[in-house]
A and B are shown apart, each in its own frame.
Chain A
């Protein structure tokens, strides 16, 4: 008896697995259009997003273009040693971290304040007009923004210098774009100018989700407008702020290089070089592919580390995970 049930069971198991396999292919045929609509793009993503990772091998080779992979000379960690021995590298790292943390702080505080202010505007057409205006710089390229910033800060006819001169704050025009010490502030201010309005969208949505009865109750309790902001609006968007803050920690090092490339010039290069720009100028520009790839790897590894760190903090604070 026992053996019989056992064999029967086995049969059943066998049947099920056979059925499962056949079911997969039957379904595959049934869902052929779904596969047709996804697999080509998956291959696409593989080529342009995953394949570059294979290029990381270059950092461990004395890479020469045009030679087959197996014939390249392997050098181990030589380029990483070179990178960490380079004095320039530490300056670049300092610039990257300085500009990204300044951007992080300003990029948070200003949009939150602006969103709260917008929310207090009771004249709706006016509110909508200001919102539309504030979105404009987001859609304009960094090339244009860099051109505008350079123009506004220029010594001949730049509005900032003209204004400061006419208010007698300064006696002669300041060469803003030639002062290394000012570069980080200029980049941060340009970034705020460009993205301030755009970044209010999420906060405004969060504010809109706060129940009106809370405000009513506060009004009954005699809270002033400022008091309502402090006790209702800000606590109401706190979760949104926390999530966005943690998520942006993950992007702390990958700040891109467009602004620095377009706003920088040789006079301020000690302050404008960031990791990606360093890879571009000292890797690609000089044909040192391996060295440049080592910089890229350093960048990516730190980014992923920060991302995991941020996710860890996020888990701790909210018991949820971003991914």
Chain B
């Protein structure tokens, strides 16, 4: 009641302004959420019923049949396993490399500091391009290996600089007193720096994990013919591309057999949800961290 009174007491232009603000909020929320809810509803709806169309944000004929069908397909299980594996391993390795590098270039007394940080910074600007990189991967015998998912992207200058600017905020006196207690740089890194860098590490872990989970192009380019190394995103990409008549860029097998049981539409929507849910579960809890991390990174670079 009071709120309404306060609202009514203001000049009409401010009231109109307020109305426009909330209208924009509603539009953004609907435009962002509706597609996801629509996909979710179709994935939970009976496949033959979905063909009739008209599904909005709730299933008309609820069923789990679509999910049962796609998980009966071996490719999806393999994809899920590989996707989880590359996310876990890639994130851990990426965190270790970025935090170690960040620690060394944060140390003013480190002799190699200038060299290492310049060398890293340049990698953000130079790029050999797609084809030289492809040839390199082939020459290193990394085609059709799991390693191609986690090794080439191991060192990321951006991540290093975000963590480094965070470490710069930790008083150096802490390191000095640890040194007086007989700790060397290795122990200082693990015992002093890492525990204090947790917020930055959480941000970078999220970026790394999302990047790994969402990758599909490396599978397409390097491991497209290896069924054992397929990823969820790649499976989804193949299913999606198979009916958008992009067949000429298409290689490897697809899920046509599965699609004969339920409509391609339902297959696509169900896999989309499987691929999206893990992210949905994780990111809201890390929001506090990544907002800070993004602002920090932007200010420094």
Contact = CB atoms under 8 A, between A and B. Distances in A.
Contacts of A54: 128, 132
B33 A133 contact: yes
B14 A135 contact: no
Nearest to A178: B245
Interface string B135-169: 11010000000000001111101000000000000
Contacts of B295: 201-202, 205
Q: How large is the interface on A (under 10, 10 to 19, 20 to 34, 35 or more residues)?
A: 35 or more
A136 to B, nearest CB: 6
Contacts of A297: 129
Interface residues of B, number: 91
B259 interface: no
Interface string A93-107: 000000000000000
A305 B268 CA distance: 42
Given A117-B24, A159-B34, A267-B245, A300 B127 contact: yes
B163 to A, nearest CB: 13
A15 interface: no
B184 A41 contact: no
B280 A136 contact: yes
B92 to A, nearest CB: 15
Interface string A111-123: 0001001101100
A131 B184 CA distance: 44
Interface in A34-50: 34-39, 41-42, 44-50
Contact of B133 (A36, A52, A148): A52
Contacts of B131: 55, 58, 279, 283-284, 289, 292-293, 295-296
Interface string A63-84: 0010000000000000000000
B112 interface: yes
Contacts of A295: 129, 131
A171 B216 CA distance: 38
Interface stretch (A3-11, A180-188, A258-266): A258-266
Given A133-B33, A293-B132, A33 B185 contact: yes
Contact of B291 (A117, A159, A201, A276): A201
A16 interface: no
Nearest to A130: B25
Interface in A250-289: 254, 258, 261-262, 264-267, 276, 279-281, 283-285, 289
Interface of B: 11, 13-14, 17-18, 21-22, 24-25, 28-29, 31-36, 38-39, 53-55, 97, 100-101, 103-105, 107, 109-112, 116, 119-121, 123, 125-136, 138, 151-155, 157, 184-186, 189, 210, 213-217, 233, 236-237, 240-241, 244-246, 248-249, 268-269, 272, 275-276, 279-280, 283-284, 287, 291, 294-295, 298
7 contacts: A31-B185, A34-B107, A39-B112, A52-B132, A120-B17, A225-B13, A279-B131
